Amino acid sequence: MRRALKNSNFAQVFNSIGRSGNEIKNKMEYCSIPNICWSCNKQLMKQNSCFCTGCGSLQKVGYEDYFKLLDVPSTFNLDSSTLTSNFRRLQSQLHPDKFSQKSIVERNNSLEWSSLVNKAYKTLSLPLERGKYILQQNGIRISEDNTSVDSEFLMDMMERNEQVEEAVERADLENIARDLRLDINNLYDELNVCFANNNLEGAKIAVIRLKYLLNIEAIVKEKMLKYM
């Protein structure tokens, strides 16, 4: 009888731990690691906040998943308005000006959080950087050489560069810019499909091509300023 009670109590405790573990696991975890407050040494019960719910102290940066940090889906096709709204809300909570009268630890934590939030937003708000970041999360980095791009595409890029150099009328530059933007938008669509289907190799090639096209577009925009 006593052994049965012990087994029953153990099962209740085990089930309780399992439920608690699942609840914590399902929440965003971008606070201090380990999950102990540096100020009051108490367990950080709320995992989706940068602050200790016990003493209210700002915790140290301990998690750097940009998507989770800005509370957006981990996907290439993001809602830009939601991303911007979440960024502004988080930055307003963590801005160093709000911690000017706090301890040196919290002031330093605020600087680190603010820097991280800015970096995360800059990365996710730009499609090229967002694509590179998703690839990086999957262990794929974009090298600086041209080995991943076919020669036909490189020849096309060289011809487009020559067109930009030879253009002497604003109308010519506008035509080039229009064609570039069409190709860039097509690559955005291609990246959406590649990432949705977990085609990382296809996404890598699309990101590299996108980088070339955006560089040429930047040159065109700069040259167009001379004709205003």
pLDDT tens per residue across span 147-183:
667 889 999 999 999 999 999 999 999 999 999 999 9
Evaluate whether 30 touches 68 at the Cβ level (below 8 Å).
yes
Distance CA 120, CA 98 (A): 20
Task: Note the pLDDT of residue 42.
Answer: 87
pLDDT 10s digits, 57-92: 998 887 679 999 999 999 999 999 999 999 999 999
Cis preceding-peptide flag for 96 (omega within 30 of 0): no
Of 126, 216, 210, 225, residue with least CA distance to 178: 216
Q: Are residues 119 and 35 in the same domain?
A: yes
CATH number, position 221: 1.20.1280.20
Q: Is the pLDDT of residue 27 over 80?
A: no
Using a cut of 0.75, tell me whether the model's pTM lies above it: yes
When pLDDT is averaged across residues 95-123 and rounded to a whole number, the result is 94
Give the CATH number for residue 50.
Answer: 1.10.287.110
The answer to whether the CB of 32 falls within 8 A of the CB of 44 is yes
Q: Is 83 part of any domain?
A: yes
Task: Evaluate whether residue 144 is within a structural domain.
Answer: no
What percent of the chain shows pLDDT beyond 70?
A: 81
pLDDT higher than 50, residue 18: no
Residue found by looking up tokens 């940090």 in the block: 69
User: Contact 152/100 with Cβ under 8 angstroms?
Assistant: no
43 band by pLDDT with thresholds 50, 70 and 90 = confident
Q: Report yes or no on 146 lying in a domain.
A: no
Distances, alpha carbon 177 to alpha carbons 4, 44, 174, in Å: 78, 52, 5
The reported pLDDT for the residue numbered 195 is 97
Q: Which domain holds residue 109?
A: 19-125
Residue with tokens 């301990």: 62
Same domain, 121 and 54: yes
Residue 131 belongs to a domain: no
